[in-house]
Structure 1
Amino acid sequence: METIKGKTTNGLMRHLRDEHGISISGSKSKKDLLNMGYYHGYKGYRFIGNSQNKIAYTKFDEVVAVYQFDANLKSILYPNIMLFETAIKNYTLDTIIGIGPADFESAFSQLLNDYKKHPVGNSDYRAKMKKRLELRDKVNGAISYNYSDNKAVIQHFFHNNKQVPLWAIFEVISLGEFGFFIQCLNEKTRIAIAEDLRIHSTSHNQNGRILEDIIFLIKDLRNAVAHNSVVFDCRFRKMNPPSRLKEYIQSETGISNITFVNIVDFFVVLIFLLKKLGIPKTELRKLLKNFSSESEGLRKAIPVSVHTSIMGSDLRRKIDRLMSYI
């Protein structure tokens, strides 16, 4: 088997100069490269969106600026996404408790039955039944894993021969799995939860589905932030959000051209959600100002054309409209 010969940091600096035309020298740049890593740092931040859309860097300081901007974005986003995740599960639990029993088996038989609105055996019926059964497998898998991992919140109920309540299940399932839970609920329950969150609308073809749309959108961002993946160019996005979500957010905030191609659109949705959760205006303004400040710092550190490619040509308009919405 052929051995792999790597490059030292000095060798990587020469490689950046000779092969990529990037000016890099000195102990500070060497430390910056060591701290960010060539593969996680430069290789991860040399393009926007996909590897064909390379950034025409001329100075290593520009690479560092984009890398630091990305890191700072994640620091701003993380606590607010965690707040959303915790709150959305608690709102759902509160609504379901108002409807009936709050253990998974009861919810599975009485609420997670969206398939019933279709004729038995047709394609929609089978597709939704399949998702429902897959959800059960995911929940059982999470319970089994956390029991084996000595998670007290799960072991307590098994050791006392009790049903595992939804609140305990929500503690151990991922945000994506929680999105599938919402997706499998019947329409009446979905709408009840959305109404409690004040996000239900009879327009935009919602049918109580707007919450799952939001969860699946935020889930990809949440995972990227939690795993320290790149977020500045929205490459984490695994799906094109449905038009009903884009239209709804535009209608609620008064901000047009929401496409989720640029990171500012995710801040629009996040601030919209935090406002619905009753977060004070002062906190929302602080969040937006932090984002705006980071964007302005990046603009000063890289060519304006690159900043526009990253942030979008309508960034300032969206920030101003978002401040008005707050």
Structure 2
Amino acid sequence: MPKSLNSLMKHLRDNGVAIGGSSQKRKLKNIGYYHGYKGYRFAGKAANRLPITSFAQVAALYDFDTQLKTLFYPRVMEIETALKNYTLEAVVQDAGSAYFEDIWRKSLTGYRAKTGKAYRKAWEERQRLRQEIDGMIYGHRGRDVIGHFRDADKDVPVWAIFEVMTLGNFGAFYRCLDTRVKSKVVADLSMPANIDSERRLAEMIFALKDFRNAIAHNAVVLDVRFQTGAINTAVSRLLKQETGVSGVDFADITDYVVLLVYLLRRMGFSKTECRQLVAGYDAVIERYRAELPFNVYSKIIRTTARGKLTTLRQFVSNG
């Protein structure tokens, strides 16, 4: 039998979490016992329980997470849009056509440069990409940009496919491109030539994919539990070389701020916009550093955050 809200509050009290009064009852109802309390009682993984003693701390963690998502979402969307546009320009120029079938034959050919198992893996990824894009074209419902071309029995331009493509689809598309196309994209972004930026950008796209999906689906963000896999340490080396920020390992949400600011600057976003992002993040973590017990806050935000933000500000000022 499901527990009532009053029963859930009693269960919390029985387990050492102080909760009471109409305002906290309303807050629990608004955030949900399972999405709220259950989701914020640990950091990263369930085994890493937080020493929470009151529902006020749970509510603060929930609000902390919400503030971060509100801050990050517009910037992540701007980066996603820009990355797609940089790539669109490069592939259309490379293929000499805006139509997907031409791009498929001429530009989505990165597998050809590989051998052995790497060739097989890249070839299979290209085939999966084809299936995904065919699904977007023929399985898509509605009279949108794709439907307009499909229902008129016309070739679908790649820009229409990009309109409905997820960031995960886009990451696969980018990874399947011939190296000469990837090189045009990273050159346009002024990324370094000595750290295989073509591959690093792909890894950044997939890191952003997990981050973006967590924000968009209102999953927990503040403890980076959204990561679906390890991020190559070469990305950290690139960010250290470019921004001066050391110790980036994406085990802390601060490191995603470093990644966002780096990409925004490479895309030509202003210093003012980047400073606003850093200042906004700093303000949020300072607020909740004051509201949360240190033994809770320190399991979410590392002590290195302040130093990283200082270095990141210097990168923005000097870049």
TM-score for both structures, normalised by structure 1? 0.94
Structure 2: how far apart are the matches of 1:150 and 1:276? 36
Give the superposition deviation at 1:213: 0.9
2:6 aligned partner: 10
Residue-by-residue CA offset, 1:118-173 (whole Å, 9 max, x unaligned): 34xx3222111111111000101111232xx1142012212333211110011111
Do the aligned residues in 2 keep the contact of 1:143 with 1:172 (CA within 8 Å)? no
Structure 1: how far apart are the matches of 2:107 and 2:233? 27
Identify unmatched segments of 5+ residues in structure 2.
none
Structure 2: how far apart are the matches of 1:74 and 1:144? 34
Quote the sequence identity (%). 40
Give the one of 173, 178, 191 matched to 1:186: 178
Structure 2: how far apart are the matches of 1:145 and 1:280? 40
The letter of the residue matching 2:185 is: I
1:139 aligned partner: 133
Give the one of 151, 165, 179 matched to 1:173: 165
Give the one of 114, 118, 123 matched to 2:114: 118
Give the superposition deviation at 1:33: 0.5
Give the superposition deviation at 1:306: 1.9
The letter of the residue matching 1:36 is: I
Do the aligned residues in 2 keep the contact of 1:111 with 1:189 (CA within 8 Å)? yes
Structure 1: how far apart are the matches of 2:196 and 2:269? 28
Structure 2: how far apart are the matches of 1:85 and 1:287? 16
The letter of the residue matching 1:264 is: T
The letter of the residue matching 1:145 is: G
**Residues 9-158 of structure 1: pairs in structure 2 closer than 5 A:** 9-18=5-14, 20-99=15-94, 100-119=96-115, 122-146=116-140, 149-158=141-150
Residue-by-residue CA offset, 1:8-44 (whole Å, 9 max, x unaligned): 11111111111x2011111111111011110000000
Structure 2: how far apart are the matches of 1:137 and 1:151? 21
More displaced stretch, 283-292 vs 260-269: 283-292
Runs of 4 or more above 6 Å deviation: none
TM-score for both structures, normalised by structure 2? 0.96
Structure 2: how far apart are the matches of 1:194 and 1:162? 32
User: For residues 209 and 312 of structure 1, do their structure 2 counterparts lie closer, same or farther at Cα, with a shift above 3 Å needed?
Assistant: same
Identify unmatched segments of 5+ residues in structure 1.
none
SS at match of 1:311: coil
Q: What is the number of equivalent residue pairs in this alignment?
A: 315
The letter of the residue matching 1:319 is: L
